Amino acid sequence: IVTSCGALDLSFPPEFKFGSASASYQVEGAWNVSDKAISVWDKLVHDNPDAISDRSNGDVACDSYHLWQRDIEMAEELGLHFYRFSISWPRVLPSGYANYISKDGREYYDNLINGLLEKGIEPLVTIYHWDLPQNLQELGGWLNPMITDLFADYAKVLFSLYGDRVKTWLTLNEPMAMCDGTFNTGTMAPPLVVEDVGAYICNKNILIAHAKAWRIYDEEFKPLYNGEVSIANNFFWYEPLTPDDEDIAEAARQNMGGRYSHAIYTKEGGWPPVIEKMVAEASEKKGYNKSNLPEFTQDEIELIRGTFDFYAVNHYTTRLIRHAEPGEELDLNDVPDLNGKVLVNPDWPTTTSSWFSVYPEGLRRQLVWLKEQYGDIKFLITENGYSSGIGLEDTARINYYRDNLEQILLAIKEDGVNVVGYTAWTLMDNFEWSDGYQSRFGLYEVDFDSPTRTRTPRASAAYYKNIIKAHKLVEPNENF
Ligand code: GBH
């Protein structure tokens, strides 16, 4: 690759870290052991098996609740610097409240954290990756403002239990999926569509919940442990279909990305002004007497502003967008309250996931955009990976990792984006939400028919291991 200053230097910065990730509901299984309570995902898969394309569920999943030692072994085989996993709220706090901590739940994560540290692998903890205690859903879940304090209480329990050993925390995974992906499209748990208003109420509550947790850490735990806390955002990168569509592409980025970031990462805080205007106009058109975007008080703006130590981003794919034609029908694949049509580029290779086609250049552009929007801060890629079917010879996944890592190197070296680490999604095949076990993202293949859930490295595992060992982007065919 030739860049502005000659050939691209394929080495990663010395401090750059490589990891891999998973999430509690996707891997743990053991859905009803001990005093664990049920989550919204347990409820969804049991009440409504048709919501999952292969009618499977996460009751056993990878059985990581019992096989955590094997998981650590795989992390070690790969040479990971860190392993990102999430904690199940109803496993640690069965009542949802901080009044009672489960002994078994607490011990499970203690073992995992200690086991990783013994191998020199940093634990990176996601506090919430979508498995809300079902009883809190019955109070309204992410639509009830009281969730913000309950979440902060839960986060505080985790900081107290594990803060001496866990130095990097993510409060919430993908608020966009939690709000837009739930209340607009109804494809996630809880299966509850709340048209027009739900996603925006959830959006505000999430920002406040995150901010409260961040401030608790900052005030009470940072002085003791000096760790870092952030929130993991994701959104499709939007490219204009034609040069005339750049304004609508930018509005889409602000809608799906800025709506979850502007309040935290900008000096002025609050909603992106363009989104306030867009939602106000759309609400009026739909006959509402006020905007569906809830207002922030000045106190709330200040509570949220600046609650980050780095920017965490999950990136998978890119969409095209153009201005909608007059009277054109828009649907749930489009951006809410935006008069634009979202398209998939038919030239980009597809994957096993219906929403996912491959366009590595989008990652670099997204990183550059994030730096332009939110400043020269640290960026950690908390997820990136490829979905295939079963099979150990996963050349397409290898190419995906190669090409995305190349774009990250370009962002670092050509655009000066301070990317500090990379997380491959995912360590092993797991319960891929509404796709069940049909979409495989794993570096390790899991045999879900075997009672021992045998894990076998794919070709991509060997490739990723080589990259980590060399600390540079080796080529897939390079003898290493
Ligand atoms: C991440 O979400 C998740 O954090 C992780 O748990 C998951 O396993 C991984 O990616 C792979 O999917 O069908 O149009 O309604 C990625 C972003 C958000 C993509 C929800 C799929 C549903 C799209 N995902 N989205 S749609």
ipTM of the complex: 0.94
The answer for residues whose C-beta is within 8 angstroms of residue 268's C-beta and 6 or more apart is none
What average pLDDT does range 331-357 have in this prediction? 97
With beta carbons less than 8 A apart as the criterion, state whether 213 and 155 touch: yes
Distance (Å) from CA 479 to ligand 1 centroid? 34
Pair 405, 466: CB distance under 8 Å? no
Q: Is the model's pLDDT at 470 over the cut of 80?
A: yes
Half-sphere exposure of 236 (CA within 13 A, CB side): 24
One-letter-per-residue 3-state SS of 96-156: CCCCCCCHHHHHHHHHHHHHHHHCCCEEEEEEECCCCEHHHHHCCHHHCCCHHHHHHHHHH
Distance 227 CA to ligand 1 centre (A): 28
pLDDT score of 478? 83
d(CA 21, CA 119): 16
Closest protein CA for atom 21 of ligand 1: 355
Q: How far does the centroid of ligand 1 lie from the alpha carbon of residue 284, in Å?
A: 31
Alpha-carbon Rg for the chain in angstroms: 21
The single residue of 28, 122, 228, 383 carrying the catalytic annotation is: 383
User: Residue 477 pLDDT more than 70?
Assistant: yes
394, 458 Cβ separation under 8 angstroms: yes
Residue-level pLDDT at 344: 97
pLDDT tens by residue, 264-312: 999 999 999 999 999 999 999 999 999 999 999 999 999 999 999 999 9
Contact between residue 422 and residue 381 where contact means Cβ atoms under 8 Å apart = yes
pLDDT, one tens digit per residue, over 184-227 is 998 899 999 999 999 999 999 999 999 999 999 999 999 999 99
**What is residue 306's three-state secondary structure?**
coil
Report which of 432, 348, 423 is spatially closest to residue 387, judged by C-alpha positions. 432
Give Dmax over CA atoms of the chain in angstroms.
66
CA of 9 to the centre of ligand 1 (A): 32
CA distance 442 to 384: 11
Confidence of residue 1 (pLDDT cuts 50, 70, 90): low
Per the DSSP assignment, residues forming a β-bridge with 195 are none
What mean pLDDT value characterizes the chain? Answer: 97
Question: Ligand 1: residues within 6 Å at CB?
Answer: 23, 26, 173-174, 177, 181, 185, 187, 234, 314, 316, 354-355, 383, 425, 432, 441
Residues 6+ apart with CB under 8 A from 313: 232, 233, 234, 366, 367, 370, 379, 380, 381, 382
Cα distances from 190 to residues 56, 75, 179, in angstroms, run: 17, 32, 11
Q: Is 314 helix (H, G, I), strand (E, B) or coil?
A: strand
Query: Model confidence over 406-429: pLDDT tens digits?
Result: 999 999 999 999 999 999 999 999
0.90 cut: is pTM over it? yes
For residue 5, the model assigns a pLDDT of 62
Q: Among 28, 184, 187, name the best residue to mutate to test ligand 1's pocket (greatest count of ligand atoms within 8 A of Cβ).
A: 187
Best residue among 174, 183, 237, 443 to mutate for probing ligand 1's pocket (most ligand atoms within 8 Å of CB) is 174
The alpha carbon of 49 and the centre of ligand 1 are apart by a number of angstroms equal to 19
Model pLDDT for residues 73-112, shown as the tens digit of each residue: 999 999 999 999 999 999 999 999 999 999 999 999 999 9
**Residue 3 has what pLDDT?**
67
Cis check: omega of the bond before 182, within 30 degrees of 0: no
pLDDT score at 206: 98
Please confirm, yes or no, whether 174 is among the known catalytic residues: yes
CB 418 within 8 A of CB 409: no
Number of Cβ within 10 Å of residue 258's Cβ equals 25
In the chain, what are the helix, strand and coil shares in percent, each to the nearest 5? 40, 15, 40
Q: Which atom in ligand 1 lies closest to the alpha carbon of residue 385?
A: 11
